[in-house]
Amino acid sequence: MPNRSNAKQDLVWFAAQVKPLLRHQILSILLIASSSLMFLLDPLVLKWMVDVVLPSRDGRLLTLAVVGLLIIYACRLGLFSVGRIINFRSIQQLAFGMRLQLLDKINRLSADFHEAMPIGEKLYRVEQDVDQVAQFGSFVPRLLQTLFNLLFVVLAMALLNFRLLFVVVPLLLVGVCIAARYQRRLRMSSEAAQERGGLQSSFLQDHLASVIQVQLLNRESGQTDTFRELAGARMDAVNQRNRVEVFFGTWYMAAIAVGTLAVLGYGGQQVFAGALSIGGLIAFYTYLARLFDPLYSTVDIYAQFTRVQASISRILDITERVPSVRDCAHAVTLPRQNTGAVRLIDVTFAYPMRPPVLSHLTLDIPAGEKIALVGMSGSGKSTIAKLIARLYDAQQGTVQVNGADVQNAKLKSLRANVCLLMQDTILFDRSLNENLLLACPDATNEQLQKALEAVELADLVARLPHGWYARVGARGSRLSGGERQKVALARALLQKPAVLLLDEATSALDAPSEQRILHNLSQHLPSQTIVFISHRISSFYWVDQIVVLHQGVIQEQGTHNELIGKGGMYARLARMGSLSDEPSAPPRESALPPPHLSMRAD
Ligand SMILES: Nc1ncnc2c1ncn2[C@@H]1O[C@H](COP(=O)(O)OP(=O)(O)OP(=O)(O)O)[C@@H](O)[C@H]1O
Ligand SMILES: [Mg+2]
């Protein structure tokens, strides 16, 4: 939860969002002012009826009064309706603009933000919080109407009886005092309710995405208990907020009720003294009742604003963030290349609030080499890949691609040259075709077909009812884990990046398929640099170089034969790997190194 609570800053931001709409709303404001004027007229007609028309017993005058009231009501309704239509459009416009702004920022924020904030929390901010704030945008015309009404009603009251107005003024002061007293409690209870809402939404997001897993783990009741706790906490927080709002409103209305009694008592005396007519007292009372409306609206708007402030804070918590990885002022565009030399020089890196993962690591990957990065879980392999793709910046040292410090390269140009595929391939719920074209929208059908063949997906696509126009389901759920990985590999093939980082990107494939596909991949990308990260190290004995990482430090480095001969960590891992991963009877040809690589080794 953000801990910013600068109300002035929130207001400034909110005003900036509403400002462009206000310009379009001049018409609406004029309508509002006119409808407020209409608001002023009918008590005066009522006064005229009581003081003049009724005592005169003149039917024509009575008809005139009724027709006058009819015209007033019709105009008020018309103006009000048009004003509301304009208002609804503004709310949608406001939500649309804020959502785009928020999504744009989320898209630019770096991996540290995305890895720290749950999806449900982000979703809550983009949907619920934005809606809350946009709804509040409609309060701007309402606030203006309230102010106009207040002004006109007070003016009319002053004209009717100036002294009586002074009985009303303390009402306003009492109202301000009550609002000041409740401000902090209202805001705190609103923030608590929204925070709990965010937690509940995060949990639901996680849970609904993994209901099948939950069933397989027999954890349904445990998950329901957790939800009960979270939803209960949210319900308590919302009840508490509503209680505070009701108390606030009650105190406010009580003050107004006491004021009304005072006005009626004092007004009655003014009538006895002849300073006010009966019609005047009735008109004054009607105005007083109408003063309640704007006053209560003010209270309501105020309560809403405290609620909305919590939403604004949560939106600003995102929009004000600065991406930790961003283009520096003098960033240069990396030219699009076919190959990439990668160097990590004396790199030290730690995730936020964690001990260092890599310490003074130096690694040289010559252009075009195929290397394997192996090591125990948690040794820092993925972290190295993330630093090369610049998902994070190293705290110390330099990461270079083709001689350029990645921190001085424009991110867009770096990502065009460096492609990182992770184990969990996320596909979008679109067609296979669209998923493939994401990285290379101009690819021809022939190129697509070749890529599909290289990753052994062509047969599957031929069998699908709509071929490569078949939708892949939410997050690619209509494909198997291995097929999802194949789609990602085909996408990378189409992209042909200078540096391809495969972080366990073939882990869901069976060993023979993996061998064949890696072979195809190396053939299709002969000049590209490829870094394979894998636990199945038996698949990578043919690569140019194997780097063994242990607790963030390079333990060994060399070819398969060199490292086996050394009898160190790699030899031990290879022995274990061959026990656990090698298929019992591997097909002869799949055990052979890819032809061009074996030639190079010669
Ligand atoms: N986003 C993160 N925030 C904090 N710590 C992290 C984060 N990602 C990884 N770590 C920690 O950094 C260390 C290195 O993680 P890394 O993912 O690089 O290991 P790895 O070698 O890829 O492991 P594996 O083989 O299991 O994938 C681990 O101790 C891990 O807990
Ligand atoms: Mg990893």
Centre of ligand 2 to C-alpha 523, Å, is: 25
Q: Whose CA is closest to 500, among 512, 515, 488?
A: 488
What is the bridge-based pairing of β-strands 356-365 and 342-350?
antiparallel
Cβ of 381 below 6 Å from ligand 1? yes
Please check whether residue 350 is in contact with residue 357, taking contact to mean a CB–CB distance below 8 angstroms. yes
Inform me whether the pLDDT recorded for 578 exceeds 50.
Answer: no
Centre of ligand 2 to C-alpha 378, Å, is: 7
pLDDT of residue 147: 79
Q: Whose CA is closest to 502, among 541, 529, 532?
A: 532
Report the chain's mean pLDDT, rounded to a whole number.
84
> What's the whole-number mean pLDDT along residues 247-258?
80
Task: Tell me which ligand sits closest to the C-alpha of residue 352.
Answer: 1
Catalogue all structural domains in the chain, each as residue range(s) with its CATH number. Answer: 10-319 (1.20.1560.10), 342-425+497-601 (3.40.50.300)
pLDDT of residue 168: 75
Rounded Cα distance, 198 and 7, in Å: 21
Between the CA of residue 267 and those of 49, 155, 161, 291, what are the distances in Å?
Answer: 19, 17, 9, 16
pLDDT of residue 602: 28
pLDDT of residue 295: 67
Distance of CA 360 to the CA centre of its chain: 36
pLDDT of residue 5: 53
Looking at the DSSP assignment, which residues form a beta bridge with residue 399?
344
Between the CA of residue 306 and those of 184, 195, 299, 338, 534, what are the distances in Å?
Answer: 9, 14, 11, 56, 52
Centre of ligand 1 to C-alpha 357, Å, is: 8
Reported as a pLDDT band with limits 50, 70 and 90, residue 25 is low
The percentage of the chain sitting over the pLDDT mark of 70, rounded to a whole number, equals 92
> Which amino acid residue places its CA nearest to atom 29 of ligand 1?
378
> What's the whole-number mean pLDDT along residues 451-472?
86
> Which residues make Cβ contacts (< 8 Å) with residue 555, sequence separation at least 6?
375, 548, 549, 568, 569
Tokens of 543: 């690569």
The HSE-up count of residue 453 (CA atoms within 13 Å, CB side) is 8
Rounded Cα distance, 87 and 380, in Å: 54
Under DSSP, the state recorded for 456 is T
Cα radius of gyration rounded to whole Å, the chain: 35
Cβ of 383 below 6 Å from ligand 1? yes
pLDDT of residue 257: 81
Residue 592: helix, strand or coil by DSSP?
coil
Cβ of 352 below 6 Å from ligand 1? no
pLDDT of residue 519: 86
Inform me whether the pLDDT recorded for 95 exceeds 70.
Answer: yes
Q: Whose CA is closest to 493, among 520, 460, 467?
A: 520
Inform me whether the pLDDT recorded for 596 exceeds 80.
Answer: no
Between the CA of residue 353 and those of 116, 321, 379, what are the distances in Å?
Answer: 12, 18, 18
Reported as a pLDDT band with limits 50, 70 and 90, residue 351 is very high
Helix, strand, coil percentages (3-state) for the chain, rounded to 5, are 65, 10, 20
> What's the whole-number mean pLDDT along residues 505-521?
88
> What's the whole-number mean pLDDT along residues 160-172?
77
Atom of ligand 1 nearest to the CA of 423: 27
Between the CA of residue 270 and those of 135, 157, 264, 267, 565, what are the distances in Å?
Answer: 44, 14, 10, 5, 111
At 349, phi and psi to the nearest 5? Answer: -145, 140
Please check whether residue 134 is in contact with residue 91, taking contact to mean a CB–CB distance below 8 angstroms. yes
> What's the whole-number mean pLDDT along residues 166-193?
77
What is the bridge-based pairing of β-strands 342-350 and 396-401?
antiparallel
Cβ of 354 below 6 Å from ligand 1? yes
The percentage of the chain sitting over the pLDDT mark of 90, rounded to a whole number, equals 35
pLDDT of residue 109: 94
> Which amino acid residue places its CA nearest to atom 3 of ligand 1?
351
Tokens of 290: 């109408």
Q: Whose CA is closest to 456, among 499, 414, 516, 372?
A: 516
Residues in the chain: 602
Rounded Cα distance, 417 and 501, in Å: 11
Rounded Cα distance, 454 and 552, in Å: 34
pLDDT of residue 10: 80
> Tell me, what amino acid is at 298?
T
**Is-above-0.75 flag for pTM?**
no
Centre of ligand 1 to C-alpha 533, Å, is: 13
The winner for highest mean pLDDT among 197-211, 264-278, 373-387 is: 373-387
Inform me whether the pLDDT recorded for 601 exceeds 80.
Answer: no
Cβ of 351 below 6 Å from ligand 1? yes
Pocket test of ligand 1: the residue of 117, 349, 357, 554 to mutate, having most ligand atoms within 8 Å of its CB, is 357
pLDDT of residue 259: 75
Between 93 and 262, the higher pLDDT residue: 93
Centre of ligand 2 to C-alpha 424, Å, is: 11
Tokens of 491: 């996408």
> What's the whole-number mean pLDDT along residues 274-288?
84
Between 30 and 374, the higher pLDDT residue: 374
What confidence tens digit (pLDDT) does each residue in 97-110 have?
Answer: 999 999 999 999 99
Atom of ligand 1 nearest to the CA of 549: 21
Tokens of 196: 């709990």
Inform me whether the pLDDT recorded for 206 exceeds 90.
Answer: no
Reported as a pLDDT band with limits 50, 70 and 90, residue 229 is very high
Centre of ligand 2 to C-alpha 345, Å, is: 21
Cβ of 90 below 6 Å from ligand 1? no
Centre of ligand 1 to C-alpha 398, Å, is: 20
Residue 439: helix, strand or coil by DSSP?
coil
